[in-house]
Amino acid sequence: MLWTHHLDLPVLIMRRLVMPIYKITIPNVNSEDVKIQMEDKKYVRIIAEKKERREDKRKNSYVMESSSSGYYRRFCLPENANVNQINASMENNGVVTIAVPKN
């Protein structure tokens, strides 16, 4: 059985004088499964995908279950964003922080 679902991620935007900070919580996903990409120097795209597979082998039966979940979020950067200085990090609890310095 294959279950697949894709969810939009809520984004907390903290407006600061020096730079806006975006915080996105991505549940149950490891940092290696998260991609943060720039698009056209005015958008940030966050894509996360988690795949799981479970096998149960018994004497007279074999059961395999797979599941996949994906997360996607794209947001527009401020016009005065310094795209060369954007910093992104992910904490152990699944929170992605993106700091966007201004020019």
pTM of the model: 0.70
DSSP class per residue in 76-87: EPPTTB-GGG-E
The H-or-E segment that residue 20 falls in is none
- Look up residue 59 and give its DSSP letter: S
Distance between CA 24 and CA 46 in Å, rounded?
9
> Of the candidates 103, 71, 88, which has an alpha carbon nearest to the alpha carbon of residue 22?
88
CA dihedral of residues 35, 10, 6, 3 (deg, nearest 10):
110
Residues 6+ apart with CB under 8 A from 15: none
pLDDT in tens, the chain (103 residues): 334 444 566 677 777 667 788 888 888 888 888 899 999 988 988 888 888 888 988 888 888 888 888 888 888 888 888 889 999 998 887 888 999 888 8
Query: Rounded to the nearest 5°, which phi and psi values hold at 31?
Result: -60, -30
Amino acid type, 29: V
